[in-house]
């Protein structure tokens, strides 16, 4: 799948991961060790929690596989300590069949995954492979964030896509001059951010930046907003007011949504730009203007010109330099960077969320983002507010991403008995929600009591996966 290829493109495989096996039974220890060595991991073993803690103190460890009934303090307590001291270590818990409550307790304490004993070699191998891959992605996300911090910023513009590189070059160039700039792009692609970076990376950065949204005001208001008015110019004008053209001084006037400016005002704006002076509403006096003008729109102005909705002469006047912002779907390679930026932006010291699951990232990459960066930013902000674990999960994303039709279900053609499928789904949901049964039930689309009943059935010894 293409989006996945793109994640990998910026995510080359890095070093060897190390695994610690903690079990008092030599047979299990050896089996785990063999599987892990075959998976390319570096392995250490411990027969007691004391030995395990000594190894954890001495060596870097990425993954711990621990039995629950291991002397001295037991697997759950070991898990608790690992979570408190080194939360980045992934922990797989080995559970006995029928001890589902302990498994849930382990998930609640932050176990990354669990394996029911006796287990198949392939099952452990698959889990280790998946974990190693997600640790790798997590490490790369951290590297990306570091890169972000050290990269020279363009007023907060993020992205390394070649079209964005071209945008940065243009910004740097036009920032040094005062000729008009027209910024085009779909809604949410960053037009205002670009306008601000032009202003704030140029010599006028200490002068005002005055934005005016031409779509949100009624025509008479836009006129008085732009040009100002004198006392008594209209009912309610009890004193004179300076317009934004004048208030911007030697700074920048940002005419946002210029495509929505009514035609008669377009004529007045054109005159102001040509003559470099304005006449406040109700006044005969002309005032000189020095502000630079940057305009932006998500409309197709050339089409509007053809249908008479936009004046061609004004277009020529504004369109001295044009900056066209690509929609997010055309630069999906930038998505991981943006996602990480927003995770950082919305992180809350009370509930630190510092990364995103591979699965969730894949959904984000598969989606087309019609609302562009604004929509992505909102989705991450919302997910951060809902998320419960340290890693954003698919279940935290907006529902239109969770059930993205372009996302195929894994192994749909594998024929599996229904009760086993059901059990797998329940366990996946509990993992995804860190053991929160209510949230798991919601994810599965069943009631909480139904989930409880099914968990009880499994405990009473129905056949397991």
Ligand X SMILES: Nc1ncnc2c1ncn2[C@@H]1O[C@H](COP(=O)(O)OP(=O)(O)OP(=O)(O)O)[C@@H](O)[C@H]1O
Given the rule CB under 6 A, which residues bind ligand X? 156-159, 185, 187-193, 298, 338, 341, 373-374, 377
ω into 118 cis (within 30 of 0): yes
DSSP secondary structure, 141-192, as one string: HHHHHHHHHHSPPSTT-----HHHHHHHHHHHHHHTS-S-EEEE-STTSSHH
Residue nearest to ligand X (CB): 190
Q: Residue 381 interacts with Mg ion (CB under 5 A)?
A: no
Scanning 185-193, 266-274, 405-413, 414-422 for contacts with Mg ion by CB under 5 A, the matching segment is 185-193
Smallest separation, CB 195 to ligand X (Å)? 8
Taking the least distance from each CB to Mg ion, the nearer of 23 and 257 is 257
Nearest-CA neighbor of 83 among 75, 91, 92, 72?
91
**Residue 158 interaction partner, one of ligand X, Mg ion, none, beta carbon < 5-8 Å per kind:** ligand X
Scanning 140-148, 190-198, 232-240, 340-348 for contacts with Mg ion by CB under 5 A, the matching segment is 190-198
In whole angstroms, give the CA distance from residue 275 to residue 252. Answer: 17
Q: Residue 213 interacts with Mg ion (CB under 5 A)?
A: no
Taking the least distance from each CB to ligand X, the nearer of 36 and 293 is 293
Scanning 187-195, 224-232, 306-314, 352-360 for contacts with Mg ion by CB under 5 A, the matching segment is 187-195
**Residue 377 interaction partner, one of Mg ion, ligand X, none, beta carbon < 5-8 Å per kind:** ligand X
Q: How many residues bind Mg ion (CB under 5 A)?
A: 1
Q: Residue 375 interacts with Mg ion (CB under 5 A)?
A: no
Q: Is 110 left (phi over 0), alpha (psi -120 to 50) or beta?
A: left
Taking the least distance from each CB to ligand X, the nearer of 157 and 305 is 157
Taking the least distance from each CB to ligand X, the nearer of 266 and 298 is 298
Smallest separation, CB 458 to ligand X (Å)? 45
Taking the least distance from each CB to ligand X, the nearer of 291 and 294 is 294
How far are the Cα atoms of 34, 163, 256, 298, 301 from residue 170, in angstroms, in the given order? 56, 11, 19, 19, 21
Taking the least distance from each CB to ligand X, the nearer of 157 and 247 is 157
Answer for the pair 212, 247: CB distance below 8 angstroms, yes or no: no
Q: Residue 51 interacts with Mg ion (CB under 5 A)?
A: no
Taking the least distance from each CB to Mg ion, the nearer of 188 and 243 is 188
**Residue 171 interaction partner, one of ligand X, Mg ion, none, beta carbon < 5-8 Å per kind:** none
Smallest separation, CB 397 to Mg ion (Å)? 25
Answer for the pair 272, 227: CB distance below 8 angstroms, yes or no: yes
Answer for the pair 254, 296: CB distance below 8 angstroms, yes or no: yes
Taking the least distance from each CB to ligand X, the nearer of 154 and 315 is 154
Smallest separation, CB 325 to Mg ion (Å)? 11
For the purposes of burial, counting CB atoms within 10 Å of the CB of 277, is it exposed (0-12), middle (13-18) or buried (19 or more)? middle
Taking the least distance from each CB to ligand X, the nearer of 156 and 463 is 156
Smallest separation, CB 412 to ligand X (Å)? 36
Taking the least distance from each CB to ligand X, the nearer of 32 and 164 is 164
Smallest separation, CB 374 to Mg ion (Å)? 9
Q: Check residue 408 and report its DSSP letter.
A: P
Smallest separation, CB 219 to Mg ion (Å)? 20
Q: Quick count: other Cβ atoms within 10 Å of Cβ 38?
A: 11
- The H or E element that residue 90 is part of is strand 90-96
Answer for the pair 229, 283: CB distance below 8 angstroms, yes or no: yes
**Residue 435 interaction partner, one of ligand X, Mg ion, none, beta carbon < 5-8 Å per kind:** none
Considering only 192, 375, 407, 422, the residue that binds Mg ion (CB under 5 A) is 192
Q: Check residue 206 and report its DSSP letter.
A: T
Answer for the pair 75, 436: CB distance below 8 angstroms, yes or no: no
Smallest separation, CB 275 to ligand X (Å)? 29
For the purposes of burial, counting CB atoms within 10 Å of the CB of 120, is it exposed (0-12), middle (13-18) or buried (19 or more)? exposed
Nearest-CA neighbor of 137 among 394, 380, 358?
358
The phi, psi pair for 8, rounded to 5°, reads -70, -30
Smallest separation, CB 370 to Mg ion (Å)? 16
Answer for the pair 379, 397: CB distance below 8 angstroms, yes or no: yes
Taking the least distance from each CB to ligand X, the nearer of 159 and 336 is 159
**Residue 187 interaction partner, one of ligand X, Mg ion, none, beta carbon < 5-8 Å per kind:** ligand X
In whole angstroms, give the CA distance from residue 420 to residue 414. Answer: 12
The phi, psi pair for 132, rounded to 5°, reads -60, -40
- The binding site for Mg ion (CB under 5 A) comprises 192
């Amino acid at each position: 799948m293409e989006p996945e290829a793109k994640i990998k493109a910026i995510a080359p495989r890095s070093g060897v991961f190390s695994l610690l096996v903690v079990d008092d039974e030599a047979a299990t220890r050896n089996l785990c060790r063999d599987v892990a060595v075959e998976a390319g991991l570096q392995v250490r073993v411990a027969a007691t929690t004391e030995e395990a803690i000594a190894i954890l103190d001495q060596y870097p460890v990425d993954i711990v596989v621990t039995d629950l009934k291991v002397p001295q303090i037991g697997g759950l307590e070991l898990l608790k300590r690992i979570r408190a001291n080194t939360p980045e270590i992934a922990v797989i818990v080995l559970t006995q069949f029928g001890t589902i409550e302990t498994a849930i307790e382990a998930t609640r304490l932050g176990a990354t995954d669990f394996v029911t004993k006796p287990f198949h070699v392939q099952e452990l191998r698959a889990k280790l492979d998946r974990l190693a891959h997600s640790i790798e992605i997590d490490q790369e996300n951290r590297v990306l964030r570091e890169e972000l911090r050290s990269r020279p910023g363009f007023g907060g513009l993020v992205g390394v896509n070649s079209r964005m590189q071209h945008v940065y070059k243009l910004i740097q160039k036009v920032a040094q001059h005062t000729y008009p700039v027209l910024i085009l792009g779909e809604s949410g692609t960053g037009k205002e951010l670009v306008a601000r970076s032009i202003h704030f990376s140029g010599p006028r950065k200490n002068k005002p930046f005055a934005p005016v949204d031409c779509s949100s005001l009624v025509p008479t208001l836009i006129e008085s907003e732009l040009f100002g008015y004198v006392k008594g110019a209209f009912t309610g004008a009890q004193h004179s007011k300076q317009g934004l053209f004048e208030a911007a001084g030697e700074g920048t006037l940002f005419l946002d949504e210029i495509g929505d400016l009514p035609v008669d005002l377009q004529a007045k704006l054109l005159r102001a730009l040509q003559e470099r002076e304005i006449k406040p509403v109700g006044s005969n006096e002309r005032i000189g203007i020095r502000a630079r003008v940057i305009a932006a729109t998500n409309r197709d102005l050339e089409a509007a010109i053809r249908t008479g909705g936009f004046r061609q002469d004004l277009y020529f006047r504004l369109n001295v330099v044009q900056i066209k912002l690509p929609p997010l779907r055309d630069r999906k390679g930038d998505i991981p960077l943006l996602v990480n930026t927003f995770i950082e932006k919305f992180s809350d010291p009370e509930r630190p969320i510092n990364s995103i699951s591979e699965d969730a990232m894949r959904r984000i990459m598969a989606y087309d983002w019609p609302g562009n960066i604004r929509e992505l930013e909102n989705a991450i902000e919302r997910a951060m507010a809902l998320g419960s674990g340290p890693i954003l999960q698919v279940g935290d994303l907006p529902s239109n991403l969770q059930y993205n039709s372009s996302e195929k279900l894994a192994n749909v053609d594998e024929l599996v008995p229904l009760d086993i499928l059901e059990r797998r789904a329940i366990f996946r949901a509990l993992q995804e929600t860190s053991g929160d049964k209510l949230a798991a039930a919601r994810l599965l689309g069943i009631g909480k009591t139904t989930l409880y009943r099914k968990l009880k059935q499994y405990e009473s010894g129905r056949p397991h996966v």
